[in-house]
């Protein structure tokens, strides 16, 4: 990702880049770019309850649903192998067999 472009897109003064969730690789930061504009970078594991509720309402209104792969609980080992191999697309959901 072009992190310099994201930092440049922030407001000229006191803009903030907020990362929601995990970023697997380190974020290379040009300290001068954030120093000059008093910009900042912050992170949280998920959004606020209000933000989450607004997102769910938006998804329901526009019929946006999660992309999942569903497997029965009896195939949990296969599901874990699929996930570890990196072949899973977005999320794997295990369903009870009964």
pLDDT tens-digit map of 70-84: 999 999 999 999 989
Residue 21 domain boundaries: 1-47
When divided into structural domains, the chain yields a total of 1
pLDDT tens-digit map of 48-62: 888 889 989 999 999
Residue 96 lies in a domain: no
Residue 72 lies in a domain: no
Residue 93 lies in a domain: no
The pLDDT of residue 79: 93
Residue 94 lies in a domain: no
DSSP 75: G
The pLDDT of residue 24: 82
**Distance between CA atoms of residues 44 and 52, nearest Å:** 13
The pLDDT of residue 66: 87
Residue 27 lies in a domain: yes
Residue identified by tokens 């938006």 is 58
Residue of 8, 2, 53 whose CA lies nearest to 28: 2
Residue 66 lies in a domain: no
């Amino acid at each position: 990702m072009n992190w310099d472009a994201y930092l440049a897109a922030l407001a000229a003064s006191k803009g903030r880049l907020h990362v929601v969730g995990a970023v697997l690789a380190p974020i290379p930061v040009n300290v001068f770019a954030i120093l000059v504009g008093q910009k900042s970078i912050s992170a949280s594991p998920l959004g606020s309850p209000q933000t989450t509720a607004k997102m769910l309402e938006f998804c329901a209104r526009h019929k946006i649903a999660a992309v999942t792969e569903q497997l029965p609980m009896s195939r949990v080992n296969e599901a874990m192998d699929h996930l570890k191999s990196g072949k899973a697309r977005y999320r794997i959901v295990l369903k009870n067999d009964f």
